[in-house]
Structure 1
Amino acid sequence: MKCGASKDSEGNNEKSLPCNDECAKLERNRKLALALNIDQSTHVEGGDHIPYSTDTLNLFSQHVKWGQTQEREFRVFGSDDEKRLRFKPMKAHERAFLHHLAEDFGFDSESMDPEPHRHVMIWKTPRFVSSPKKTLAEALRIQSSQRSVTASANVSDNEGAAKKAKASNESGEPYNGFVVSNPRFGLTVDELRAELNNLLHPGLAIAFEIEFLPSEEVVLKGVSRTLSAQDVENSLLSMKIPLVTAIANKGYGTAQLCATDSSLNITRRESDSSAANGWATVAGKRSATKAPAQTGGFAGHNSFAALTGNKVTFAKKKTVQKPKAQKVAIVDDWEVAELAEEEKERGAIGDEGGVVDPDGLSSSSRLIGETLVVEDASLAPESGGLAAGTSMTELENGAEQREARDWATQVDNETN
C-alpha cells in the first residue's frame, strides 16, 4: 500500500521536495562524474593532491598516533576564534613536526623558553583560510600509492628500453652514420669535413651531417634523398675501412658505424653487435673438438717444456744437492793450533822431498809448545837418538856439546 494513498488520493507520489543549493551541487557533481567516467564511491575530493610537505609526512610516518593527536589540535584551533595556541614542552623532533604542520596550515610558529621547558606557540595569520580537507593519514596513503606507481613505471620503462635496444640490435637496424669516440681536444667540423670529402665519390648521393653530442662524441650522419636505408648502409660499409683508418691515423679519435634516430640519439653501435656475438663465439670454441693428445713425443727433445694436446707440460728440474758445510772444530788456544798447522805443513813437505831440518831432525818430529816430540826415534841425529818429549833447552845444550867436541878434535889433529 502506498504511503498516504487512499481511494480518493494517490498520496505523496506526485509530491517532490524543492531542490536547494546543496541538492543542486550534488546533481552537478553527479552529472560531471557521469560525463568524466568517475566512480564517486572511490573518488576522493581534491584528487591526488597532497596539501602537506614531504618533511611533514616523513615525520608523521614515524609517530602516526601522536601526529594524529597534534593534527586534531590544529583543526580545533583552526575552527575556533582563538588567535594563538601554546603547546606543552616537547622534544626537538616533535617541535620540528609542529613547525612543519603549522606551515602547511598557514600558521606562524615559534619555539620559546630554553630547555627543558622549550615549547611551540602558533598564531593565525592572513595566510590561513581553512584547514586542509585531507588528513595526514589520507595524504600519507596517497603518497605511498604514488611512489609505488612511479617505481613500477620506471621499472617497466627500463625494461621496455632494454627490450627495444635489444630488438634493434637483433633485428639489424641499418647503419646510417659513424660515431667518433674519444675525439681529440679541439677537433673541428672542418677537419672532419675535409676527411669525408677526400673519401666521398663525386657521384655518391650521400651527404653527412656532423654534430657534437653532449657525451663528447661526434656523429657523422649520412643523409640521402634518393637512396634507401639499406643502400645507405651498403655505401657506409664500403667506405668504413678507409674512413676509420684515416681518422685513427690523424689522431681524431676512434670511429665505428652506428644507427641514429631523428634526434641524433644513438640506437645501435657496431661494437654492440660484436659484444652480442661474444657468447656465441665462446660457445662455439667450447663445442669444438679437442685435438688428440700426442703420445709419441717430438722429433727434437726439449728439456724445458713439451706440448701435449692443448696443455704445456714443463719438464721436472733435477734437484741439485748443495755440499754441506764442514764443521770446524773450535780450539781453546789458537797459538797452539797455528803452530801445529805449520808443523803439519812442514811434515808434508819433508815426506814429499825428503827434507831434513838443519839440526839433523827429521820431519817426523813436531814441536808442541817448548817440547819437541819425536815420532820416529830411528830418524834422530847421531847423538844417540832423542827421547820422546825432549825439550828445546836440552836440544840446545846437546848441540853446544857437539860443537865443543868437534872443536877439540880439530885442535888435536892440528897439533899432531
Structure 2
Amino acid sequence: MRTCQANLSCGRHKCGERCCPGEKKAAERQAASRRKNRQPGDSVVEAEHICIRTCGRPLKCGSHNCQQMCHRGPCASCPEAIFHEISCNCGRTVLQPPQPCGTHAPECRFNCPRRPACGHPPVEHNCHMDDISCPKCPFLVDKWCACGKEKLHSQPCHLQAGHCGRPCGKTLKCGLHKCRKLCHRPGECEDSASSSQTCGQACGKAKLFCDHACQNPCHGQTPCNESAPCAAKATIACPCGQRQQEVKCLASSSNPTPSRPELKCDDECLRLERNRRLAAALNIDPASHTNDHVPYSDITLRLFKENLAWAEAQEREFRVLAKSPEEQRLRFKPMPSHQRQFLHALAEDYGLESKSEDVEPYRYVVIWKGAKFVSAPSKTLAQCLKIREAQAAEAAAAAAAASSRAPTPPPAIAVVEPFNAFLLVSPRFGLTIEDVEAAIRPDLASQSGLSFTTSFLPSDEVLIRATAHYSSFLTPTAVEQALQNMKPRLEGTVKRQDIAGNILLCHVDANEQVSRREDISRSDAAAGWSAVAGRAATPAKKEELAAASSGGGSGKRVLLGLRKKKVETPAKSWTAQLDGDVEC
C-alpha cells in the first residue's frame, strides 16, 4: 500500500497515511508551487493535510512550550504571567506583578554594592546581575613577574601575573639545553609536555668526524647519528691561503674524509707573493708598513660620507664581485640618481664598467668586469676617509702654525665694480616696459656702441642694462663713463614724463642681481632742510631779477651801488615759509 508523503499545512510534518484521498491534490499543489504560477485560491491546503498536532516548540520566555496547533512561522509570546516581584540584584529597583512570563530584571540606576577582592576602592558603576562581572581594578601596584626574576612596577592590579620579557634559562630535561621561552610560570618550560628526556631544540653537539654542530633534533645524551653526509659548509683554500671557497662538508661515518675540489693560486696570489718577496728584500714589515695613498676619487669619498651605512653595504657587494672569478656581472635594484652616481664613481675607482638602464623610477645600475679590471683596491672607503680627515687636520695645524709665524698681511683693497646699468626707482603705477622704451629711446640712441635691455626686478624697480657691442671694444670703465654722461639727460626725461621717482647707476651680474648701486646719500641730504630753506629764499631772488630786467628794457641807467629800500612786510610763520614741506 502506498504511503502519502505530502507536506502538511505546518510545513514541518508529512501526511504518512496509506491510500490518502488528498494525495493527488497535494501533488498538484506542490507542482504548482514549484512552477511559481500559483493562483490565490491554489494556496489553500486540502482538508486531509491540515496538521492538528500541538506545536510544542519552546517559547521566548524559556520556561514554557507553545500549546497552539502546529503552525508555520514563529510562535507567539508566552501567554503565562508572573505573579511575584522582579527586582534587580541590590533590590532597590522592583517591578510589581503581574508581569509577562520571561520579563528580565530591571536596569538599576544605583551603584553596585560589591567590593573588589583586592581591597582597593571600587570603580563606580550601576548595579548589575551576578552573570556580569564588575569593571577591572585600575590601580597600579608592584608585582613580581611570572618567572620571579624581576619585580615590576606600575602594573595594573587586575593582571594575574606580569612578564619581564627575559628568557627562562632553566636547564631542560635533556641536560644540554636551556629553556628559550620568555618569562613564564614554573612548570611551563619547553619540555613540559614531553615525557622523554629530550627537548625540541637542535642537538648542537660537535660531530665526531667533521667537528660541525649536529643539526638533528635533541636526542639527549646518546651519540649523534652521523650516517648521513654532513650538510654544513666547509672552507677550502689555495696553497698560499689567499683564495678561499665554501663547499659542502659531506663527511659521514661511512666517508670520514670526502674528496673536495682543489683550489689553485691565481694572478692575484702571484702578485702578493712578489710583493712579499720584495718587502723581505727591502726589509719592510708589511704588517706595520702603511702609506697615505687614497685610491678613490674625491666625489666617491664625498658620496660615501653622506650615507655611510648604505655605501658600506654596496662596497661589500663590489668586493664580493671583484674577489669571485666566476662572477662577471652585478645588477642593482632601482634607486635614486644620487645613489646611482655613487655606484658609477665606485665602479670607476675599481676599474669596472657600469651603465644605467630603464627609465625613472625603475632606473637601475649594472656593473661588469671589463678589460681594465685587475683587482679591488687594498683599502676600504672607511680607511681612506680616515686618511683624508687626518691629512686635513695636519694641513689645518700647519696652516695655523704658519699664520702665527708669518707677519700680518695688509688689508685687501676692495675692488669696486663699474656701473653697467640704470635703475628706475619708484616707477609710476601701471608703467610697462613699452612705455619706458618709448620715452627714453631718443636719449639712448646717442650711444651707438651700446645696446640696452629693459626688465622689471622682483623689487618692482626697472632695470635698463647696457651691453657693449663686440665691434665697439669698450672696456667696463668706458661703459661706466658713457652711462655717467647719459644720466643727466635721462634724468630730465624721467622727471619730465613722470616715469619714476629717480634714476640711479648700478652694477648687475649675469643673473640680474644688483650688487652695487649709486650712493645718493649726499643728494638725499641736500634734499632735506637745506632744500626747504632754499625754496623759501627763491621768490626773493626772482623779484630782484625781474626788477633788474625791467629797468634795463626801459633805457634808464641803473645806478650801481644803490639799493632799493626794502618794504617791510609782516613776518610769516615758519610753517608758511616751508610751503607745506615739513619733514619729521
- TM-score, reference length from structure 2: 0.22
Structure having the higher helix fraction is: 1
**Which gives a bigger RCO, structure 1 or 2 (Cα 8 Å, sep 6+)?**
1
TM-score by length of 1: 0.31
Larger radius of gyration, structure 1 or 2? 1
